[in-house]
Amino acid sequence: MSSDLITVLSEDHRAVEQVFDELQSRQGGPAQRSALVQHVIIALVRHAVTEQRYLYPLVRQELPDGDARADREVSEHAEAERVMADLDAVDPDDHRFEALLAELVGQVRNHIEEEEHELFLRLTQAVPGDVLRELGDNVRRLMTAEPATDEQALHSGKGTVDTVREALG
């Protein structure tokens, strides 16, 4: 079944929120929480790459303030990736872990809020449904691709953020 770009990206937001809820419930041991952090970093980098490839070009093209809007989103992604790299480098029992997690959750929730309560609504009005559906099919393919296994990321010697970005090309 084909779904449009906005539906696919919104579903991806829900999946990330679910992992954040799990992490912030503080259940599970350090190893489990560490695996969840890595899982959510992979998901977020893939989300950012997807939006940069498919969403922002559309925003630039279709909205009058599109360039400024897309530039802001790209710099917000870069900020979130800096926090992810820091979070990736600390253990769940490190005293900095909860603060870094809270910072990342705040940034991502803000991103989700801005997109779903404003940007996506404007795009739905500005862009024909068949264009959004075609982009949605492309995005669905990228989202279901395995960019890097947790194992590869763990043993690459690089951080998870860089490993996933490289794997996605």
Residues making contact with Fe ion (CB under 5 A): 115
Question: Helix 129-144 and helix 5-24: axis angle, to 10°?
Answer: 40
Pick between residue 13 and residue 158 the one whose CB is nearest to Fe ion: 13
The span from the CA of 2 to the CA of 140, in Å, is 9
CB of 109 to Fe ion, least distance (A): 11
Nearest CB to Fe ion, comparing residues 80 and 92: 80
* Cβ closest to Fe ion, residue 51 vs residue 88: 51
- Nearest distance from C-beta of residue 151 to Fe ion, angstroms: 27
Smallest gap from Cβ 31 to Fe ion, in A, equals: 29
Q: Which residue from 142, 44, 33 is spatially nearest to 92, judged by alpha carbons? A: 33
The per-residue DSSP string of 128-161 comes to -HHHHHHHHHHHHHHHHS----HHHHHHSSS-HH
Nearest residue (CB) to Fe ion, 81 versus 115: 115
Residue nearest to Fe ion (CB): 115
Closest contact distance (angstroms) between CB of 77 and Fe ion is 9
Minimum distance between the CB of residue 42 and Fe ion, rounded to whole angstroms? 15
Residue whose CB is less far from Fe ion, 35 or 126:
126
